[in-house]
């Protein structure tokens, strides 16, 4: 007797992920319950039940303290909302392929299309999908029901429709349905939603059944995809559907037996069936050869080639051409902890992987991509050290004593003394940035590579300085960044070379400290006021001549101008008042009032708003003289003049008696 096992028999990545999620919760000491059976396999559900895992019918059935697991079939939108409303702790392991159909169902309604889904209306996956429909939807089991539907609904031929299928739908039946629809419907869009693993499994089962005398399909009798495998195989040869090894019939000698298994069948049951067949048929030698060929025991540290068949937020599922289901944890994809799996790989990507751990009981292999990449990266790092090549990488961690730079898959340590252009700079500012660096040390035995950012920065700075001094001229304008502040000015990075703005050049107004005008990190427009090439010093100007308040004073405030001013200072000989921003004038004590005063404070105080007249301006010495008294005297003179010009016939009344008339 010859036995051949289908290449993709057993767990699909969706079911594998769901089952592993439950076992992981148990390993973490948590209580778990599943929304319906986690898999259509009595052995799997029985083992979980013995470990205390409950199967509930609704979110409300989850006992307090239990974590609810949404299986790979997915659930309707209203169930998701109920979970949120009840605040039930939840782990959602809906198959990514099913999630895609949820989105298509929702978008079909939003676009005004009728959603036509091929599948079993009673299957939990189909109920979950239709629960995400936002418009009219229809469910058909196959071509026969489709013909009846089109007869009863002739309007469908002209309506916009979106067509999809349950992930485990019969691939051949799907093609039959498409053939009918494409002839009848003029406004339809079709989506290939049958899971790739399902399609491949069905194709292999068909090919195997065509060349075998008997077929054994292993899986739960309630499993939709297992039932379809049985139906496919039964078209070509006698087929048996079994759940356990003890259900195997005794096959006559000399037959060729094919074995396949549904997506919910773990590798351990497939292996048990193979062992039993060998014992029943007393063919130990063939069994050993068969087992070695079909299961291909994988050893840790072995390299394999895989194809990405699924992506989730926490891991990537890979087909490595073996019975075991391969998965790559997110932390084994890349050395960069900040990236997401979907940023690194996409469905269909092929890659070399390293086996980290195998689990024959569950039929899984844990794989690593980053370790294979790191092995390849050592040669590049070694060559870069020898040649002095400048590399580019991303700072992914700030650690004690330095930073970690990721170059490809290689983690390069850069000490704090080599991380910045000068000591004392904040290393956190480098986090997430792209940096250029050199490799200064490689130790393969310790798996350690050390780099230097500073050496590159200094070379770049030196080159920039040389080029800068070749072209710089007085009066040249620059846009720079304020690098540091001192009491006497601000230092500005002009692009590899620093210049200084003296405090007197920051503003036309008086400032006590540069921070009143600029801050570290500000972008400023400056111009070169002076150059000291011998000592490498650059004096910068910041305030603009056109903003000079004395220019405005000369243009808009000539001598004789009357304006409002604010008292800003007091002295024994007078008060200073601000005329315009940047210019204060002196009101001498003799010009504060129209009578003698002992001190300015008798009339004025700081903050007073006063009306003044500009009596004198000395532009060379930057002095302005102001007077309140001049305005008061002008007002009095105007009043006297008005009184003198009063009409002659105006009667003036007086209470005083003439001096030459006696009193009565």
Enumerate the active-site residues.
125
Task: Indicate the length of the chain as a whole number.
Answer: 664
Residues contacting residue 257 through CB under 8 Å, at least 6 positions apart: 1, 2, 3, 4, 212, 213, 214, 215, 216, 251, 277
What distance in Å separates the CA atoms of residue 533 and residue 303, rounded to the nearest whole number?
A: 62
With contact defined as beta carbons under 8 Å apart, do 406 and 374 qualify? no
Cα-Cα-Cα-Cα torsion 379, 381, 384, 386, nearest 10 degrees, comes to: -70
Long-range contacts for 415-421 (Cβ within 8 Å, ≥24 apart)? 415/450, 417/454, 418/450, 418/451, 418/452, 418/453, 418/454, 418/455, 419/453, 419/454, 420/453, 420/454, 420/457, 421/454, 421/457, 421/458, 421/461
Pick from 222, 224, 248: nearest CA to 119: 224
With contact defined as beta carbons under 8 Å apart, do 585 and 577 qualify? yes
With contact defined as beta carbons under 8 Å apart, do 501 and 541 qualify? yes
Pick from 299, 297, 321, 314: nearest CA to 10: 321
With contact defined as beta carbons under 8 Å apart, do 490 and 498 qualify? no
Pick from 555, 558, 550: nearest CA to 584: 550
In the chain, count of helices (H) and strands (E)?
Answer: 16, 32
Strand order in the sheet with 66-70: 54-56, 31-35, 66-70, 90-92
DSSP category for residue 658: P
Cα angle: 17, vertex 19, 23; to 5 degrees: 110
Pick from 249, 174, 175, 236: nearest CA to 205: 236
With contact defined as beta carbons under 8 Å apart, do 244 and 238 qualify? no
Q: Strand runs (DSSP E) across 167-298, as ranges?
A: 188-190, 214-218, 238-242, 256-261
Pick from 317, 348, 347: nearest CA to 330: 317
């Amino acid at each position: 007797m010859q036995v051949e096992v289908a290449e993709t028999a057993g767990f699909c990545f969706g079911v594998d992920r769901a089952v592993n999620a439950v076992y992981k919760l148990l390993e973490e000491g948590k209580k778990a319950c599943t929304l319906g059976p986690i898999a259509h396999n009595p052995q799997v559900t029985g083992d979980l039940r013995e470990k205390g895992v409950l199967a509930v019918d609704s979110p409300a059935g989850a006992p307090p303290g239990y974590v609810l697991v949404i299986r790979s079939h997915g659930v309707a939108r209203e169930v998701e909302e109920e979970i949120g409303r009840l605040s039930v702790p939840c782990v959602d392991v809906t198959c990514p392929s099913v999630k895609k159909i949820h989105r298509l169902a929702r978008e079909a309604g939003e676009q005004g299309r009728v959603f036509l889904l091929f599948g079993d209306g009673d299957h939990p996956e189909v109920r979950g999908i239709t629960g995400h429909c936002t418009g009219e939807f229809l469910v058909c089991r196959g071509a026969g029901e489709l013909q009846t539907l089109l007869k009863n609904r002739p309007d469908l031929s002209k309506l916009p429709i979106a067509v999809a299928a349950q992930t485990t739908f019969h691939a051949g039946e799907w093609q039959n349905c498409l053939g009918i629809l494409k002839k009848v419907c003029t406004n339809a869009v079709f989506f290939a939603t049958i899971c790739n693993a399902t399609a491949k499994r069905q194709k292999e089962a068909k090919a195997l059944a065509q060349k075998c005398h008997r077929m054994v399909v292993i899986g739960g009798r309630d499993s939709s995809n297992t039932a379809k495998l049985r139906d496919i195989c039964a078209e070509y040869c006698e087929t048996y559907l079994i759940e356990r090894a003890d259900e195997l019939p005794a096959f006559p000698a000399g037959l060729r037996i094919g074995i396949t298994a549904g997506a919910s069948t773990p590798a351990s049951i497939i292996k048990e069936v193979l062992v039993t067949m060998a014992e029943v048929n007393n063919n130990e030698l063939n069994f050993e050869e068969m087992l070695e060929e079909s299961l291909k025991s994988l050893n840790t540290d072995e390299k394999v080639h895989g194809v990405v068949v699924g992506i989730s937020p926490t891991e990537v599922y890979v087909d490595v051409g073996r019975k075991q289901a391969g998965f790559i944890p997110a932390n084994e994809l890349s050395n960069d902890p900040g990236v997401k799996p979907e940023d690194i790989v996409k469905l269909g990507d092929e890659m070399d992987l390293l086996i980290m751990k195998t689990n024959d009981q569950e039929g899984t292999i844990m794989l690593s991509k980053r370790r294979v990449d790191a092995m390849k990266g050592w040669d590049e790092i070694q060559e870069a050290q020898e040649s002095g090549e400048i590399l580019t990488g991303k700072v992914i961690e700030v650690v004690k004593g330095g930073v970690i730079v990721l170059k490809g898959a290689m983690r390069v340590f850069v000490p704090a003394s080599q991380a910045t252009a000068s000591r004392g700079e904040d290393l956190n500012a480098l986090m997430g940035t792209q940096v250029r660096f050199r490799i200064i040390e490689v130790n393969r035995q310790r798996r350690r590579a050390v780099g230097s950012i500073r050496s590159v920065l200094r070379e770049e700075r030196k080159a920039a300085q040389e080029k800068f001094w070749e072209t710089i001229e007085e009066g040249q304008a620059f846009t720079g960044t304020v690098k540091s502040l001192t009491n006497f000015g601000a230092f500005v990075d002009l692009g590899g070379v620093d210049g200084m703005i003296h405090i007197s050049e920051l503003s036309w107004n008086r400032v006590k400290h540069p921070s009143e005008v600029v801050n570290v990190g500000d972008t400023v427009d400056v111009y070169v006021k002076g150059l000291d090439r011998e000592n490498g010093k650059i004096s910068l100007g910041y305030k603009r001549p056109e903003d000079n308040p004395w220019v405005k004073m000369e243009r808009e405030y000539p001598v004789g101008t009357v304006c409002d001013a604010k008292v800003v200072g007091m002295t024994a000989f007078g008060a200073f008042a601000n005329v315009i921003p940047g210019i204060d004038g002196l009101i001498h004590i003799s010009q504060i009032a129209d009578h003698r005063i002992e001190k300015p404070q008798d009339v004025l105080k700081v903050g007073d708003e006063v009306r003044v007249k500009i009596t004198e301006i000395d532009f060379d010495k930057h002095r302005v003289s102001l007077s309140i008294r001049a305005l008061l005297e002008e007002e009095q003179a105007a009043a006297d003049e008005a009184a003198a010009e009063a009409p002659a016939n105006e009667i003036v009344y007086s209470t005083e008696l003439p001096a030459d008339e006696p009193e009565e």
